[in-house]
Chains A and B, each alone.
Chain A
Amino acid sequence: MAELVTMPKLGFDMAEGTLVRWVKAEGESVNKGDVIAEIETDKATVEVESTHGGVMFRHVVEEETTLPVNAPIAVIANDGEEPSEDEIESLVSAAGGKPKKKKAESAKEEKGSKEEPEAKAKKESEPAEPAEKEEESGVTPAGGVRSSPLARRIAEDKDVNLKKVEGSGPRGRIVKQDIEEYLETMREEGREEEAEAVGKALQTVAGFAPSEVPEDEVLEMSRLRQAIGRRMQDSNQNFPHFYLTRSYRTGALMSLRKELNQLLPESDKLSVNDFIIKAVALALRQYPNLNASIEDEKHIRRHGHVNIGVAVAVEGGLMTVVVSDADQKPLRLIAREVREMAGRARDGKVKNEDIQGSTFSISNLGMFEIDDFAAIINPPEAAILAVGVVQKVPVVEGGELKVGSRMKATISADHRVTDGAEAAEFMQVLANYLEEPMRLLL
């Protein structure tokens, strides 16, 4: 019997995904666990593994198609099987009607339950002594893998194939710790590869010598690189950007920061960017149009939460970590969250919730002494603020030339959502907060 593969749900808030690339062509043989396609969501690009073995019989959709979760994407036939068009159609339409197979794991369980309903029922209801004997007699537990409910849930959340995980519990039961260790191992392996690549790149720079010019190298783009590329291209080409730059007096902010940091332990010190996050969040409350997304051609969604995305440079690209409800959080909490999330992002241990749900982004390149720059909007947001370095500059005050502290920021906004005057007012209100930073503590 041919099996249907559907768009997997890869996060609690994922409603749809784009099938960006077929990895298995029609007619190719497929083993269970093989990567058959790549899916892109607004968070990441993810590989879809086959839950069945056989032959990739039919791509139900073409590349670059965006589909709701659970929509059918492919039909996999058993070896030697030739499903008729009618069969395929009934499979596909059945799945389209009512989502049945939520996730790869549960699809497996369903299959198992059809085959051995009684054995499964017994196993789950009574994991005590009598069950052990049945197991010895060859009955397989739910999902084909012995695992705790908690382990199964984490595996689903993290897209871990339980068959690849070794269980340490009684009779090989996979428990939470096993999954965590598995994920850790995966991460370390991933890092080693990256480290090797970076090492090579460094060598090519350090080893500069006319006599030893290295050959051109063609590198495969990492998936992160590809995702960034696609998103930024889409945004820059399809969103009508406009840019406004303004200079802010930062003397008061710098001295307040100094004062506060004297009171705080080393681990809780506030960065300039933490103040900016808070200031932006408060200003956004007054300008809901900038805390918005294009819903479709005729609708704009004004977000209720103010969740500030903060761009963080990571190996091979950048990620945006999210301070949710930044308008309501105290500075110290914002600072701690950003520090922790950025740390996780750099270590490749970022959590799903770290990168979800931003409604407005900030990119700060002040630490690289960049005066000012314009950023590309992070879709589907309506605007992004690019922040430069705080520096001492000559200023004219009361007709006299003085040394002042200044910082420039540039807002890139989507003209479909807002206009120059509104964005300018926002920048003005932002000044009220940045230039009288005590307001941020209220």
Chain B
Amino acid sequence: MARMTMREAISRALWEEMERDETVFIQGEEVGVWGGTYAVTKGFLDHFGEKRVRDTPIAEAAIIGSAIGAAMTGLRPVAELMTINFAFVAMDHIVNEAAKLHYMFGGQFKLPLVIRTTSGGGRQLAATHSQTPDAIFAHFPGLKVVSPGTPADAKGLLKSAIRSDDPVLFIENATLYQTRGEVPEGEDVLEELGKSKVQREGDDVTIIAYSKMVQAALEAADMLAEDGIEAEVVDLRSLRPLDMGPVIKSFKRTNRAVVAEEGWRSYGVGSEVAARIYELAFDYVDAPVKRVAQAEVPLPYNADLEQMALPQTEDIYHAAKEVVYG
């Protein structure tokens, strides 16, 4: 184990996989000379050279489209979109090409492709640069959508994503890069894609979260513990495939649940998880499932207003109190 930030964990995963496999390369805006806009790929250009660390024009369709083509020839590109807000510019290539080419041609093309991007608000970037539209991408069969909440998961999941023969949208949260955590060492320590994970055990209420909200959920769980309420925190880690196993297992014990996400509530991750809880464990429902999410507004620039709109630890805490009628 080593203690490191999320940034270091992701950077190390990339580095190790590039060292391990010649076919892995990265491309995107400012991944090379700049060292990555979030400094994740600092030092990569010097070490791996221009062939494998490819700066691109600011042209998202070209970044993703060419990564798809390269993947079809057997390479394992890791294409970086500076933020998920720019994924809309490459939307066709993500959902119409990456998610479908394998299926639509009867399995002839493989797309061992990773699209790394960052999601989330809270940095005063205003409405177009602060979104958390993760659920939109999880809507499409054929695409895998992964979003880690801890440094250890970030490393293990990214490595698995790179080794996966399927296209993976790997969503990081820009405000988590400084988060520290224990990360197991070893080049082949992987986390399986498509598996939820219990990050904290408890018997009174199940809090389901992913990405940044996992950290918030863990803090909320600490607050709840002071009130004598033991919360179980289940980290989805993958939005597609969505692994409900640990969620249902937990819920059948606690009978109460809160789903926390940073994105908007309508048609969101919480909606999906809540619906599946009702489908899979209706007879275990002792209170309506609560969804904690972002206020339904485009995020404003002003810091106070922005924080008002974003879901907070306290929201999860209060929601949990409400569902346990505590």
Contacts and interface: CB of A to CB of B under 8 A. Distances in A.
Contacts, number: 30
B211 to A, nearest CB: 25
A210 interface: no
Contacts of B284: 149-150, 153
A168 interface: yes
Interface residues of A, number: 14
Contacts of B287: 148, 169, 173, 175
Contacts of A173: 287
B325 A151 contact: no
B282 interface: yes
B255 interface: yes
A148 B325 contact: no
B288 interface: yes
Interface in A139-175: 148-153, 168-170, 173, 175
A394 B285 CA distance: 64
Interface string B231-263: 000000000000000000000000100000000
A149 B283 contact: yes
Interface residues of B, number: 9
A127 B289 CA distance: 10
A408 interface: no
Contacts of A148: 255, 285-287
Nearest to A170: B325
Nearest to B289: A127
A152 B282 CA distance: 11
B325 A150 contact: no
A309 B288 CA distance: 41
A173 B255 CA distance: 14
B283 A128 contact: no
A152 B255 CA distance: 13
Contacts of B283: 149-150, 152-153
A176 B255 contact: yes
Q: Which 6 A-B pairs have the closest CB atoms?
A: A150-B286, A148-B286, A153-B283, A149-B285, A127-B288, A175-B286
8 contacts: A148-B285, A149-B282, A149-B286, A150-B255, A150-B284, A152-B283, A173-B287, A175-B325
Given A150-B284, A150-B286, A175-B287, 19 more contacts: A148-B255, A148-B285, A148-B286, A148-B287, A149-B282, A149-B283, A149-B284, A149-B285, A150-B255, A150-B283, A151-B286, A152-B283, A153-B284, A168-B325, A169-B287, A169-B325, A173-B287, A175-B286, A176-B286
